Amino acid sequence: MTTEINGDFSINDNHNKVQAAKPAQASNVNCDKMTLKTSRVNEDKPLLTGTATLYNQNGTLPDTNISSGPMNESLEKNGANGGSASDYNPLLNRQLENPTSNFDTMIHLLKGNIGTGILAMPDAFRNSGWVVGLVCTALLGAVCTHCMHILVRCSHELCVRTQRPSLSFPNVAEMAFEYGPPKLQKYSSAASKFINTFLVMTQLGFCCVYFLFVATNLQEVITHYFSVKMSVQSYLLILLVPMILLNCVKSLKYLTPASFLATILTVIGLGITFFYLLQGLPKTLSVKAFSSWQQLPLYFGTAVYAFEGIGMVLPLENNMKNPESFGGMTGVLNTGMVIVTCLYTSIGFFGYLRYGEAVKLGSITLNLPSEDLLAQSVRAAMAFSIFLSYGLQFYVPIGIVWPALKGYFHSQSSQRNAELSIRVFLVTLTFALAAAIPNLSAIISLVGSFSSSALALIFPPIIELMTFWDHCSGKEFTLMFVKDIIIIIIGFLGFGFGSYASLWNIIEPISS
């Protein structure tokens, strides 16, 4: 409870009493106790602008410290019990009902990064050439992994400053600007909304790709065995009702068996795909080492789309039993991303080498011999796996959109009907977009260039600059600034040229 007594503010809770002068009187307050100086109001904490003195209820100094406010706060030590704001360890203050082990986190990380993007990597190598593809995929994997580390590091730093156990991606962006340069602090709320907008766009883009992937592979199987010739749009329409029913399930608990089955089918499908790719390989001279400057942006979009796990990094790290094992040279993140990068590079290189310029756009499964039952089973298995995975991808946008609209509906029945309507609308929207642009390769590249590059390459270095703008020495900040600016430029180049090339590919499709 907060009360005002003789012009001073007094804040009480079960453990501490905090007395603070009004902002206008801050300069006249002399304290011989532990002092906390702040430059602006932090709405998440009870401390006010000005100088605050911290006491226990008996009038003595506390055994633990309370810290709040922007990064230029200073906490003066007084006695043996003194400490600093950095004493707070967010990793030790997380209360988790069902924390995940290192192995569980690794599996989730692999599942989150290995989807339709990996099957499009041979198409990406066709747009780059095998030499450029090998080098750039390794470099892009390293840069994306580094940006994931940036996000985790900034999250930990901002958790310490705000005394919170964990933060989400949008929260990190908001707090980074909140504690950033004074002239940019007013954009903190806009930064959070910006991240949420791109998360919704990216995930709905993934859903469009998933929709089209299932329809395309289903079309190949049914056409071969039943000689039924229908357009891709017809298969999309057939899938619409099952997709709507699947995504009316509100609890992830009930989708767990579907996710487990999808994982098994994905592993089996990739194993059989590698079996076909490694047979009858020609010499590397049969394919291009470098494709063309015109097609290179399409490679970038597809490759960035494949590294699609930036949005799940913080949720995974926040829910770990041993979160300190997530980072580090041999931590869960590096180990998982090395595996992912090796898989992308392998299937991209061998897929392009095996089929050359004849590689099908969007998915290597479409290149597998249609006369083989095993190959057709791969198409069916991967289609069913991606169908089941659609629900998991859909949970991100509905989790952002619905809470923002929920306040407009007051009764329980209206909220229930409104949420159901929004779910149906968003699924139908992804169907409509997939039907309007039935070009799997172009959609993958467009989503990767426009949305994924912003989340994976542009926002993390900006967040790092905002978080540590006055926390580093001159030389250290210069190196960080140069490094982050280079990553941001790469992200913007891919964003601009990749989006342009993808849109042009939609208008004038490249024939397979």
Residue 287, classed as helix, strand or coil, is coil
- pTM, two decimal places: 0.76
- Would you say 241 and 490 are in contact if contact means Cβ atoms under 8 Å apart? no
| pLDDT: which is higher, 512 or 509 | 509
Lowest mean pLDDT among 52-56, 407-411, 422-426: 52-56
Q: What are the DSSP calls for 93-122, one per residue?
A: S---SSPBPHHHHHHHHHHHH-SHHHHTHH
Element housing 54 (H / E): strand 50-56
Q: What pLDDT is attached to residue 85?
A: 53
Per-residue pLDDT tens for 106-154?
888 887 788 888 999 999 999 999 999 999 999 999 999 999 999 999 9
- Would you say 309 and 113 are in contact if contact means Cβ atoms under 8 Å apart? yes
The yes-or-no verdict on residue 481 having pLDDT over 90 is yes
CA proximity to 311, closest of 194, 211, 168, 463: 168
| pLDDT: which is higher, 95 or 272 | 272
Q: What pLDDT is attached to residue 46?
A: 30
| pLDDT range class, residue 45, cuts 50, 70, 90 | very low
- Would you say 240 and 214 are in contact if contact means Cβ atoms under 8 Å apart? no
- Separation CA 189–CA 127 (nearest Å): 39
| pLDDT: which is higher, 357 or 473 | 357
How many CA atoms within 13 Å lie on the side-chain side of 88?
A: 21
Percent of the chain with pLDDT over 90: 50
| pLDDT range class, residue 510, cuts 50, 70, 90 | low
Q: How far, in Å, are 100, 318, 319 from residue 97 at the CA level?
A: 10, 12, 9
Whole-angstrom Cα Rg for the chain: 26
- Would you say 151 and 313 are in contact if contact means Cβ atoms under 8 Å apart? yes
Tokens representing 130 are: 């095998």
CA proximity to 273, closest of 357, 343, 356: 343
Q: What are the residues facing 269 on neighbouring strands?
A: none
Mean pLDDT for the chain?
81
Cα 352–Cα 356–Cα 359 angle in degrees, nearest 5: 75
**What is the residue type of 358?**
A
Q: What pLDDT is attached to residue 86?
A: 56
Per-residue pLDDT tens for 482-496?
999 999 999 999 999
- Separation CA 115–CA 452 (nearest Å): 14
- For residues 286-305, one letter each, b for 16 or more C-beta atoms within 10 angstroms of the residue's C-beta and e for the rest, the string is ebbeebeeebbbbbbbbbbb
Per-residue pLDDT tens for 207-249?
999 999 999 999 999 998 888 889 999 999 999 999 999 888 8
CA proximity to 351, closest of 430, 242, 276: 276
- Separation CA 373–CA 383 (nearest Å): 15
